Structure 1
Amino acid sequence: MKAPRRYDAGMRAIRYHEIGGPDVLRMEEVSDPTAGPGQVRIRVKAAGVNFADTERRRGLYDAAAPLPRILGSEAAGVVDQVGAGVDSRWIGKRVVALALQSYAELATTSVDELLELPEHVSFEEAAGLLVQGLTAWHLLFTSAQVRKGDRVLIHAAAGGVGLLAIQLAKTLGAVVLGTVSSEEKAALAREAGADEVFVYGGAESVSDWVKQVTGGSGVELVLDSVGASTWASSLESLAPFGHLVAYGNASGPPPALEVEALYAKSLKVSAYWLRTPHPAALQRQAREALGQALADGRLRVKLGLVVGLEEATRAHQQLESRATVGKVVLRVA
């Protein structure tokens, strides 16, 4: 039998020492972090993997951060230490939180970031909730304020944000259109609640398809995380007074925006970023709404790939090649 791990000897973590491909990720033993004032330490059971992690590793995002660096931004696990000013009753609680450097056995974060988990919610599901769930929630409730009957076009509809955004949009009474790259992904989008799904590969363009399924009027909202390759079709798909929200650029940055092109339909273009400072009350509202929806089954996290911490390289390879659907999660313990 394998001997119990001695946590006083340091923790295992995934780090990279240089910018590069997935193979720069290394499993290393590093010093345990300690919870500071207002913080807790989480013994991580599962850590979410996000496309932004691959961009950081490639030096496209947060490039000024010092190396070596531990990746990760969301952790699910059990609180095992509290810092000064934090109620000790948090110790032993099952939680999920936005927590930097979460590709590790231990991670620290502010107590204000914690969401307590009911026993029936797995750590893997929880690790897939916050980064993509908060993004989806704010896109629909904060940036766009979707109303019943609005038509919403979601690119990358079978991705982590896409599947959650479909479910949340349907709770608001929206009509949801999605774009995907395969029939398998189309089935997942429909299962999540999408009313119509476009599969790339045919002769028809996205904008022509949108006009067809909306009777020529277009959609009130487009959520675009793809960027360069979808930008033109996103603008063309909008109805008069429609709104395009950009929140990623998986295919590269979109072209420079020509304001003159917006006048004919009085369009609005904006951007959303989860790391923008949010009012604390708004972020708490979003976090608690997502947690409640997950707990009572109104919201489901699709786990597309769950691998061990030591397989972080594989997780990045699969995510970058777009071979995954839903959420990619590292099982830590």
Structure 2
Amino acid sequence: MKAIRYHQVGGPEVLRLEEVPEPVAGPGEVRIRVRAAGVNFADTERRRGLYDSKVPLPRILGSEAAGVVESVGAGVDASWVGRRVVALAKQSYAELVTAPEQELLALPERVSFEEAAGLLVQGLTAWHLVHTVGRVTERQSVLIHAAAGGVGLLAIQLAKAAGARVLGTVSTEAKARLARELGADEVLLYGEGDVAEQVRALTGGQGVELVLDSVGASTWKSSLEALAPFGHLVSYGSASGAPPPVDVEALYEKSLKVSAYWLHTRHPPALQRQARETLGRELAEGRLQVRAGLVLDLAEAAEAHRQLEGRGTAGKVVLRVP
């Protein structure tokens, strides 16, 4: 089969389309003929050797795939064969991938493979940020950095559905329009004034109860300053570099809380199943939108990485597999 691999860490140019052996579904697994694979910022960090760097090379990137079940391993219900699915699946920048049966989510015909490929990694991240970690409730105010990214757009919709007032930050007016279209109440542009001051002005001087921050170094100070007393800052990425060490003394004045979220932490199976099924149902019924801001063919994976790292994308980045 064809897959995207890299043999050494480096820039997007290290990604190569190569012929590699086909995977075989083991016990409890299915093999999926991939039609679309999600691209995430963490993939660019892996490629650069900044994250998850102990995996031996050469390596196939990717962690989510949408497609059609082609075969099943021992102990798996054969009725999966031929069904449209999406799954958390390693090495998904490829024509074929294997995934555990329990990770499968069946797709109705109305959901495209490109939409589905943007649902699980970023959707589950957004769902747990809003519900498991942030515990968003009605009448709360939430600030979402990188609000026009894949996680950001989903978090906007989930927080609004929970009854919150949502503020977002973005880098361009085009991204601001997209964030507003999907429900953000107020959108701030980086570089156009002090973010924390603007947030306080928009909240009657109070600040927000929750900040969701995937940017890291460049937003950390404003994230803390934008919080209301007893507010909560959740870090779930470091696109601009690692945030500074937490200064506990600086938290006392407003009794703030700082935490982190990672999708690969071991989650209670029932909670993860609830999140996955809820996301699938909301997408199928039209209450949740996945915006694929950039869709390229598998062979163009390097360009997808360039666009993502250059902040030239809004919404989900997807590789289409012919």
- Give the TM bin, normalised by the shorter chain: over 0.9
Q: Aligned with 1:64: secondary structure?
A: coil
Q: In the TM superposition, what is the alpha-carbon distance from 1:144 to its structure 2 partner? A: 1.2
Unpaired stretches in structure 2, ≥5 consecutive residues: none
The corresponding residue for 1:236 is 225
1:198 is aligned to 2:154: no
1:221 is aligned to 2:210: yes
For 1:147 and 1:299, the matched residues in 2 are separated by 18
Deviations 1:101-131 (A, max 9, x none): 0000000010000000000100000001100
Q: In the TM superposition, what is the alpha-carbon distance from 1:255 to its structure 2 partner? A: 0.7
For residue 105 of structure 1, the aligned residue among 89, 95, 112 is 95
The corresponding residue for 2:39 is 49
The corresponding residue for 1:84 is 74
Q: Aligned with 2:94: secondary structure?
A: coil
The corresponding residue for 1:6 is none
Task: Report 1:1-333 matches (<5 A).
Answer: 11-202=1-192, 204-333=193-322
Aligned residue type for 2:69: V
Q: Aligned with 1:255: secondary structure?
A: coil
Aligned residue type for 2:264: R
For 1:97 and 1:254, the matched residues in 2 are separated by 31
Q: Aligned with 1:234: secondary structure?
A: helix
Aligned residue type for 1:133: G
Q: In the TM superposition, what is the alpha-carbon distance from 1:200 to its structure 2 partner? A: 1.7
Deviations 1:161-189 (A, max 9, x none): 00000000010000000001111010000
Deviations 1:36-57 (A, max 9, x none): 0100110000000000000000
Aligned residue type for 2:319: L
Q: In the TM superposition, what is the alpha-carbon distance from 1:15 to its structure 2 partner? A: 0.2
Q: Aligned with 1:19: secondary structure?
A: coil
State the aligned residue count. 322
Aligned residue type for 1:316: H
Question: TM-score normalised to the size of structure 1?
Answer: 0.96
Deviations 1:8-36 (A, max 9, x none): xxx00000000000000000001100000
Q: In the TM superposition, what is the alpha-carbon distance from 1:201 to its structure 2 partner? A: 2.5
For 1:45 and 1:38, the matched residues in 2 are separated by 22
For 1:247 and 1:318, the matched residues in 2 are separated by 21
Q: Aligned with 2:17: secondary structure?
A: strand
Q: Aligned with 1:33: secondary structure?
A: coil
What is the percent sequence identity of the aligned residues?
A: 74
Q: Aligned with 1:125: secondary structure?
A: helix
Aligned residue type for 1:290: L
Aligned residue type for 1:197: V
For 1:87 and 1:180, the matched residues in 2 are separated by 45
Q: Aligned with 1:194: secondary structure?
A: coil
For 1:96 and 1:62, the matched residues in 2 are separated by 23
Q: In the TM superposition, what is the alpha-carbon distance from 1:145 to its structure 2 partner? A: 0.7
Query: After TM superposition, where is structure 1 displaced by more than 6 Å over at least 4 residues in a row?
Result: none
For 1:305 and 1:84, the matched residues in 2 are separated by 37
For 1:58 and 1:243, the matched residues in 2 are separated by 31
Unpaired stretches in structure 1, ≥5 consecutive residues: 1-10
For 1:274 and 1:200, the matched residues in 2 are separated by 27
For 2:155 and 2:77, the matched residues in 1 are separated by 34
Aligned residue type for 1:190: R
